[in-house]
């Protein structure tokens, strides 16, 4: 998502973003300094403004950005770089000014094992989940890319979604129409007001409002102790885990 957001921002007049994946075999002689072996290459290509050659070596540095003040932190590409290196891979950036940029993430390919195939074959086929009723969800997250991704996931599950980028904005929306929402889904760690503080205030406006808190912290005891009947969803989560969390919190209500 960070790469796609960067690609979008590099095309102020529109353009095309292309996401591809391929297998690649790396030998001893490679320019990325990778150990020999099999890799998966995930690439994001745009047709945007491109990056000048003198800046290519800097773009993966933390806080380096070519965007205007207030338009970005400069952490997106450095996070991608860090993720790739920690995973035993690398990133490769090729860019031409006026034509666009392609960023490739090279990751070691996982080996297929016979035992894994046997387990997959032996696993019973689960029944398709029953269709859940469509809910009006108020989603709160201060990170643009994460908010966009989570909103898309909720819509894939069949729900209507309205978004807010901060606790105060969410409380303003809820205050105007407290009965219009069936569920709040919020990030926990946010500036201005945490997800927990926001929900405590929201419950004064609507005491029976179901809520899910998304947290990147492994220890969620403090959250559950202070807020009681909320479901904590730990990052990263899958679509099925979100579906289960929604079913759990709405059933409890």
Domains of the chain: which residue ranges? Answer: 2-108, 136-252
pLDDT of residue 86: 83
Q: How far apart are CA 154 and CA 237, in angstroms?
A: 12
Query: Where is pLDDT greater, at 161 or 224?
Result: 161
Q: How far apart are CA 129 and CA 86, in angstroms?
A: 36
pLDDT band at 202 (very low <50, low <70, confident <90, very high): very high
pLDDT of residue 53: 80
Query: Where is pLDDT greater, at 208 or 182?
Result: 182
Q: Which residues of 219-248 are buried (b: 16+ CB within 10 A; e: fewer)?
A: eeeebeeebeebbbbeeeeeeeebbebbee
- The correct CATH number of 136-252 out of 3.40.50.2300, 3.40.50.2020, 1.20.140.10, 3.30.43.10 is 3.40.50.2300
Query: Where is pLDDT greater, at 223 or 239?
Result: 239
Q: Using the 8-state DSSP alphabet, how is residue 117 labeled?
A: H
CA nearest to 23, candidates 9, 43, 46, 4: 43
Q: How far apart are CA 24 and CA 21, in angstroms?
A: 10
Q: Which residues of 135-148 are buried (b: 16+ CB within 10 A; e: fewer)?
A: bebbbbbbeeeebb
The mean-pLDDT minimum among 6-10, 11-15, 248-252 falls in: 248-252
Which class does domain 2-108 fall in? alpha beta
The mean-pLDDT minimum among 11-25, 44-58, 113-127, 169-183 falls in: 113-127
pLDDT of residue 128: 45
Is the pLDDT score of 205 beyond 70? yes
Q: How far apart are CA 106 and CA 160, in angstroms?
A: 36
Percent of the chain having pLDDT more than 90? 41
User: What average pLDDT does the chain have?
Assistant: 82
Q: pLDDT (tens digit, 9 = 90+) per residue, 81-101?
A: 878 888 899 999 898 998 999
Q: pTM of the prediction?
A: 0.56
For the chain, the C-alpha Rg in angstroms (whole number) is 22
Which residue stretches of the chain are H helix?
2-9, 76-86, 114-122, 144-156, 167-176, 195-205, 221-227, 239-252
The mean-pLDDT minimum among 103-107, 141-145, 227-231, 239-243 falls in: 227-231
Instruction: Give the mean pLDDT of 9-22.
Output: 93
The three-state secondary structure class of 161 is strand
Query: Where is pLDDT greater, at 51 or 138?
Result: 138
Judge if 2-108 and 136-252 fold alike in CATH terms: no
């Amino acid at each position: 998502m960070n790469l796609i957001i960067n690609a979008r921002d590099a095309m102020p007049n529109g353009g095309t973003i292309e996401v591809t994946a391929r297998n690649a075999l790396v030998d001893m002689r490679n320019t990325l300094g990778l150990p020999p072996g099999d890799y998966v290459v995930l690439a994001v290509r745009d047709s945007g403004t491109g990056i000048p050659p003198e800046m290519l070596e800097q773009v993966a540095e933390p806080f380096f950005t070519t965007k205007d003040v207030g338009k970005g932190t400069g952490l997106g590409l450095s996070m991608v770089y860090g993720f790739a290196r920690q995973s035993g891979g690398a990133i490769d950036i090729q860019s031409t000014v006026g034509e666009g940029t392609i960023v490739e993430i090279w990751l070691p390919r996982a080996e297929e094992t016979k035992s894994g195939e046997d387990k997959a074959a032996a696993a019973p086929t689960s029944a398709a989940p029953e269709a859940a009723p469509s809910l009006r969800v108020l989603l709160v997250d201060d990170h643009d890319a994460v908010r966009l991704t989570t909103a898309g996931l909720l819509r894939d599950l069949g729900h209507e979604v309205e978004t807010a980028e901060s606790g105060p904005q969410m409380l303003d929306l809820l205050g105007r129409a407290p009965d219009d929402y069936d569920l709040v889904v919020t990030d926990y760690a946010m500036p201005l007001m945490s997800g927990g503080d926001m929900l405590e205030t929201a419950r004064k406006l609507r005491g029976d409002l179901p809520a899910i808190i998304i947290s990147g912290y492994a220890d969620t005891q403090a959250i559950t102790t202070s807020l009681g009947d909320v479901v904590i969803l730990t990052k990263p989560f899958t679509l099925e885990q979100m579906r289960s969390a929604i079913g759990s919190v709405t059933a409890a209500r």
